Amino acid sequence: MYTTMLPTLRISADVALPDNHQWQFRFEVKSETSDRVYIISQNKKRRFWACSCPGWKRHRKCKHLIALDLPCHEQPMEVNLQKA
Ligand SMILES: [Zn+2]
């Protein structure tokens, strides 16, 4: 028997969103430069993290994922998501 230690990702329960067909662990992040709100989530099948901001859509990399220590470029990563 062994224990897998996953990195913990803590988010506020206020920003958590329900899963949908393709995405889980969905939550909102606010843009620092505008009133826009983006959605970060993990792809259920391929396990990578995505953001709905223009930077991620264009380059598969953005400051929102980096700020949360989540991988860019569709690299899969498992986390222990905690809502507080
Ligand atoms: Zn982003």
What's the pTM? Answer: 0.92
Beta bridge partner(s), residue 41: 50
C-alpha of residue 50 to centroid of ligand 1, in Å: 8
Residue 32 has what pLDDT? 86
- 44 within domain boundaries: yes
- 43 within domain boundaries: yes
Structurally, how many domains does the chain consist of? Answer: 1
- 39 within domain boundaries: yes
Cα 12 from chain centroid (whole Å) = 13
- 3 within domain boundaries: no
Q: Which of 43, 50, 45 is nearest to 29 (CA)?
A: 50
C-alpha of residue 79 to centroid of ligand 1, in Å: 18
- 55 within domain boundaries: yes
State the residue range of the domain holding 74: 8-83
- Residue-level pLDDT, tens digit, the chain, 84 residues: 566 789 999 999 999 999 999 999 999 999 988 999 999 999 999 999 999 999 999 999 999 999 999 999 999 999 999 999
- 64 within domain boundaries: yes
C-alpha of residue 61 to centroid of ligand 1, in Å: 7
Q: Which of 28, 9, 8 is nearest to 18 (CA)?
A: 28
C-alpha of residue 2 to centroid of ligand 1, in Å: 35
